[in-house]
Amino acid sequence: MGMEEMDTVAQEIMATLDNIFLAEKRARLQVSALEERQYALAATFGMVQEMEVGNAIEEALTGFGFDYHSVDDDAELWISDEHGLMVFLSFTAAEGRYYNYRIVAFDVIGEDEGV
């Protein structure tokens, strides 16, 4: 895949993830507003929103041809050999900064036949 194609895919992924995370932020605001009046409803709504965001991210990245890899409790890794891209989700840096995602380009330089 050429750099222009990779850039296009990366831009599409960024736009998709940005839209999903923006919707998540709006939902969190709604939950905050609901908590003061109806805590039980707010908690249920919050859980449903979290599941919907997780499903939307999974559908989007799977649709782009990415495979899921669990890194640890804090991070998820999605890899597409076809596009030469990796997407790190829910990444917390050592200094405590939180990132929604990182997109990294890579080249496959070889394959181990025994794996």
Buried b vs exposed e over 2-35: b needs ≥16 C-beta within 10 Å?
eeeebeebbeebeebbeebeeebeebeeebeebe
Structural domain includes residue 24:
yes
Structural domain count of the chain: 1
Structural domain includes residue 114:
no
Q: pLDDT per residue over 77-101, tens digit each?
A: 999 988 889 998 876 666 777 777 8
Angstrom distance (rounded) from CA 88 to CA 112: 23
Given this model, what pLDDT does residue 115 score? 54
**Number of helices and strands (H, E) in the chain?**
2, 4
pTM for this entry: 0.72
Structural domain range at position 71: 3-105
Structural domain includes residue 26:
yes
Structural domain includes residue 110:
no
Sheet containing 85-92: order of strands: 67-70, 76-80, 85-92, 98-105
Return the number of other C-beta atoms located less than 10 Å from residue 91's C-beta: 17
